[in-house]
């Protein structure tokens, strides 16, 4: 005991029992390692076939259904959730595997209506998973709207709409600038009375901004028609959706999605028919340049 | 230097050998020799124990730590629920009164998976690095990590069951933790996904507190059940790469628990309460190299040993602070 320091080589061989204990500990430890690594790798399963892909907040670093860069860059902190004035952003659960804690939007329940004006979620993102490369709502490429059930669309049937767009129990919010410029209010508190339902066009944030820009536009001759050139991209350069005569010459009007659509989901949220007639696809975005 | 080397050995799961007598100071050898001659009776030791158990010091650091941990985590919750914007985000990354903070391990994963670092993340990471270096490295674990607190309660249950021999603590080789560290880092870099974050109970618990519970809590529950019925504090001891990251930060941190050989009675109570008892092997008779030894960096600075020691032989200290004051 006293001369231990000098005789390191002279260590007594381990007893049989001790060796057996060590062997078992080693096997247990390997088991723990394989188990933990296996469980963590199971988190990759939801990615198969892009099943994990969702409508993501503005600026998400992704290429349609390929969300690898977005899931990699996101630090799963939820700061984007906290700044959203309409609480559109939610964090995914463990069923999303490696996407756990990553933000997404359920447009039918609460779409992004850009009522923060400044893309607050993008500004809040600490890792650039929501890229800072975009400045205005019209620069976002979240998805692309599609009239999924034209036969159900009220406008297509030439029908109007009266009342609360999604019924009295709907919790979703929108900002109505004519009611309150700064604070979004529940859609249920803002009933409509429309001769022809045009909710998807009327509430489209891109269309609203285009109208606002048009109102600000100088009436002087020589000004360009394209409002975007007056204040840069802040004014959306392209229309996102419009009601047009039905191609078959029927009585109603048809909502036609234009290449200015960014896929924010407000049309899907506000559509008063159940289930919604218009949806946002995430496997497509406009090809128009930013 | 031996502090850093011994700490590294602990962090890598290797054993730190009993020091050769020539490495021990004259003073400490003298103390050990004296202790060998004047052995304390069992009654004396028990009397000292009993006297200590009744004092207010018995749970002092634990209470301070639990309060701190709860306040830190509640600040996250309150900031979001009441929109006071003091600590926005979650434990993985946040903004504290506007300043970026990023958990070192979460940031590391993002860097490995994304292979690109934005300035804000760099600022947040550097801030947190400096902060926890100043505060002791693994002190993150015991003073901030929400899973640590729940795991501590589960450990209490485990110890009660173990005392009745209803469960046994299954031990694993501690070297598995650095192996996990490398595997998780490798998988993250190779797959491009933050593989560890998926199963991190720290992130899951923190987000559940702030944004509401989800199915992910069942994973945390499974870990807790494993720790109660199979292996004591298994996650923190054998798996968690966050602990290893902060352990490395703590290698040179000034905040340490210091061991005083002179007053120690070598009863081993400190090792029984410790999450990482190998760091307290220095309290075994003959193991200390000097009369005062700093507890190595794998220590989470939780203070349980400071609380339990009846002779104040373990105390918190800040290296260099005495000189400054």
Is residue A107 within 8 A of residue A243, CB to CB? The reply is no
| Candidate from B102, B215, B239 with C-beta closest to A36 | B239
Whether residue B56 is found in the same domain as residue B106: no
Question: Looking at the structure, do residues B196 and B94 belong to the same domain, yes or no?
Answer: yes
DSSP conformation letters of B199-265:
H-HHHHHHHHHHH---THHHHHHHHHHHHHHTSTTHIIIII-HHHHHHHHHGGG-SEEEEEETTT--
Look at residue A222 and tell me whether its pLDDT is greater than 50: no
Q: What is the pLDDT of residues A115-148, one digit of tens each?
A: 888 899 999 999 999 998 888 899 999 999 999 9
Residues B38 and B13 in one domain: yes
Q: How far is A126 from chain B (nearest CA, A)?
A: 6
Q: Do A36 and B180 touch (CB under 8 A)?
A: yes
Last residue of a domain, one of B224, B248, B272: B248
Put simply, the answer to whether A126 touches B171 (Cβ < 8 Å) is no
Q: Is any Cβ of chain A less than 8 angstroms from the Cβ of B96?
A: no
Q: What is the pLDDT along chain B (325 residues), one digit of tens a residue?
A: 589 999 999 999 998 888 888 899 999 999 999 998 988 888 888 888 888 888 888 999 999 999 999 999 999 999 999 988 889 999 999 999 989 999 999 999 999 999 999 999 999 999 999 999 999 999 999 999 999 999 999 999 999 999 999 999 999 999 999 999 999 999 999 999 999 999 999 999 999 999 999 999 999 999 999 999 999 999 999 999 999 999 999 999 999 999 999 999 999 999 999 999 999 999 999 999 999 999 999 999 999 999 999 999 999 999 888 777 7
Res. A227: pLDDT tops 70:
no
Q: CB–CB of A104/A89 below 8 Å? A: yes
Same structural domain, B41 and B77: no
Range of B287's domain?
A: 2-60+253-320
B194/A76 CB distance under 8 A: yes
What value does the mean pLDDT of chain A take? 89
Q: Based on the domain organization, do B7 and B29 belong to the same domain? A: yes
Residue A194, φ and ψ in degrees, nearest 5:
-115, 135
The verdict on a CB contact (< 8 Å) between B172 and A28 is yes
Separation CA A77–CA A102 (nearest Å)? 8
Q: Given this model, what pLDDT does residue B124 score? A: 95
Query: Is B131 inside any structural domain?
Result: yes
Question: Both B76 and B104 in a single domain?
Answer: yes
Banded pLDDT at A10 (limits 50, 70, 90): low
Q: Phi, psi at residue A219, to the nearest 5°?
A: -80, -5
Residues B126, B274 within the same domain:
no
Same domain, B84 and B193: yes
Contact A126 B192 (CB under 8 A): no
Q: Are B161 and B230 within one domain?
A: yes
Does residue B143 lie in a domain region? no
For range A281-289, the mean pLDDT: 92
Higher pLDDT, B212 or A13: B212
Give the H/E segment covering residue B87: strand B87-90
Same domain, B161 and B233: yes
* pLDDT at position B259: 96
Q: What is the value of pTM for the model shown?
A: 0.91
- b/e map of A157-186 (b: 16 or more CB within 10 Å)? beeebeebbbeeebebbbbbeeeeeeebee
Helix (H, G, I), strand (E, B) or coil at A158: coil
| Residue of A37, A78, A96 to mutate when probing chain B, most B C-beta within 10 A | A78
Number of domains in chain B: 2
User: Does residue B110 sit at the A interface (CB-CB below 8 Å)?
Assistant: yes
Domain assignment present for B56: yes
Give the residue from B230, B248, B266 where a domain finishes.
Answer: B248
Point out the residue among A29, A47, A72 whose CB comes nearest to the CB of B113. A72
A236-270 tens-digit pLDDT: 889 999 999 999 888 899 999 999 999 999 999 99
Taking the C-alpha atoms of residue A99 and residue A47, their distance in angstroms, rounded to an integer, is 9
Residues B68, B56, single domain; the answer is no
- pLDDT of res. A93: 95
CA A19 to chain centre: 57
- B128 within domain boundaries: yes
Contacts of A83 in chain B (CB under 8 A): 88
In a domain, B144, yes or no: no
Cα B303 to chain centroid distance, Å, stands at: 10
B132 and B18 both lie in a single domain: no
pLDDT at A99 over 60: yes
Residue with tokens 């109102």: A215
Single out the residue in B206, B232, B248 at which a domain terminates: B248
Q: Of B11, B1, B111, B49, nearest to B270 (Cα)?
A: B49
Q: For residue A12, what pLDDT is reported?
A: 76
Q: Nearest by CB to B195, from A43, A73, A91: name it.
A: A43
Residue B325 located in a structural domain: no
Q: How far apart are CA A279 and CA A257, in angstroms?
A: 11
Q: Show contacts of B223-230: CB within 8 Å, 24+ apart.
A: B223/B151, B224/B150, B224/B151, B224/B154, B227/B151, B227/B154, B227/B155, B227/B158, B228/B154, B228/B157, B228/B158, B228/B161, B228/B167, B229/B158, B229/B161, B229/B167, B230/B167, B230/B170
Interchain CB contact of B183 with A (< 8 Å):
yes
Contact: A100, B94; criterion CB under 8 Å: no
The residue whose two tokens read 């329940």 is A109
A139 min Cα distance to partner chain B (Å): 20
Is B10 a member of any domain? yes
Which positions in chain B touch A97 (Cβ < 8 Å)? 198
Residues A43-95: pLDDT tens digits?
999 998 888 899 999 999 999 999 999 999 999 999 999 999 999 999 999 99
On whether residue B146 sits in a domain, the answer given is no
How confident is residue A230, by pLDDT bands cut at 50, 70 and 90? Answer: very low
């Amino acid at each position: 005991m006293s001369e231990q320091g000098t005789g390191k080589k002279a260590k007594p061989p381990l007893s049989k029992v001790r060796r057996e204990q060590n062997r078992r500990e080693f096997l247990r430890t390997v088991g723990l390692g394989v188990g933990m690594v296996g469980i963590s790798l199971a988190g990759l399963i939801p990615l198969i076939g892009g099943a994990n892909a969702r409508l993501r907040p503005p600026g998400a670093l992704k290429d349609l259904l390929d969300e690898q860069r977005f899931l990699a860059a996101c630090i799963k902190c939820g700061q984007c959730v906290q700044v959203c004035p309409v609480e559109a952003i939610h964090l995914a659960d463990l069923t999303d595997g490696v996407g756990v804690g990553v933000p997404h939007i359920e447009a039918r329940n609460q779409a992004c209506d850009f009522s923060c004006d400044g893309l607050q979620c993008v500004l809040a993102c600490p890792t650039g998973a929501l890229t800072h490369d975009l400045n205005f709502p019209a620069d976002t490429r979240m998805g692309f709207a599609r009239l999924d059930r034209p036969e159900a669309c009220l406008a297509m049937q030439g029908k109007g709409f009266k009342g609360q767009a999604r019924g009295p129990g709907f919790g979703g919010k929108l900002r109505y600038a004519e009611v309150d410029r700064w604070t979004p209010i529940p859609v249920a508190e803002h009933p409509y009375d429309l001769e022809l339902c045009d909710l998807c066009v009327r509430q489209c944030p891109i269309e609203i901004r285009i109208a606002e820009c048009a109102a600000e536009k100088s009436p002087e001759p020589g000004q360009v028609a394209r409002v975007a050139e007056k204040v840069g991209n802040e004014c959306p350069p392209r229309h996102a959706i419009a009601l047009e005569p039905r191609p078959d010459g029927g009585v109603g009007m048809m909502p036609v999605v234009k290449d200015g659509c960014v896929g924010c989901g407000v049309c899907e949220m506000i559509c008063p028919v159940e289930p919604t007639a218009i949806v946002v696809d995430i496997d497509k975005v406009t090809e128009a340049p930013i | 230097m031996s502090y850093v080397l011994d700490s590294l050995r602990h962090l890598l799961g290797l054993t730190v050998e009993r020091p050769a007598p020539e490495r021990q100071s004259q003073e400490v050898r003298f103390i050990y020799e004296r202790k060998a001659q004047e052995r304390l009776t069992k009654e004396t030791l028990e009397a000292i124990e009993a006297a200590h158990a009744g004092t207010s010091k018995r749970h002092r650091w634990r209470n301070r730590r639990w309060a701190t941990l709860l306040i830190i985590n509640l600040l996250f919750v309150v900031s979001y629920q009441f929109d006071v914007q003091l600590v926005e985000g979650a434990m993985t990354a946040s903004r504290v009164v506007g300043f970026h903070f990023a958990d070192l391990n979460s940031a590391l994963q993002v860097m490995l998976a994304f292979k690109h670092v934005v300035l804000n993340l760099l600022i947040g990471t550097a801030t947190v690095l400096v902060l926890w270096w100043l505060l002791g490295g693994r002190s993150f674990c015991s003073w901030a990590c929400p899973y640590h607190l729940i795991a501590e309660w589960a450990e209490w249950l485990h110890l009660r069951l173990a005392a009745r021999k209803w469960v046994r603590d299954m031990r694993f080789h501690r070297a598995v933790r650095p192996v996990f560290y490398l595997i998780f880092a490798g998988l993250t870099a190779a797959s491009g996904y933050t593989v560890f974050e998926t199963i991190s109970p720290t992130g899951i618990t923190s987000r559940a507190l702030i944004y509401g519970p989800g199915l992910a809590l069942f994973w945390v529950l499974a870990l807790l059940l494993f720790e109660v019925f199979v292996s004591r504090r298994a996650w923190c001891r054998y798996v968690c790469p966050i602990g290893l990251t902060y352990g490395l930060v703590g290698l040179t941190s000034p905040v340490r628990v210091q061991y005083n050989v002179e007053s120690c009675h070598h009863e081993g109570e400190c090792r029984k309460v410790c999450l990482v008892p190998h760091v307290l092997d220095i309290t075994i008779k003959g193991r200390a190299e000097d009369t005062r030894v700093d507890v190595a960096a794998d220590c989470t600075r939780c203070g349980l040993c400071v609380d339990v020691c009846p002779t104040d032989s373990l105390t918190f200290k800040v290296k260099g602070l005495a000189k400054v004051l």
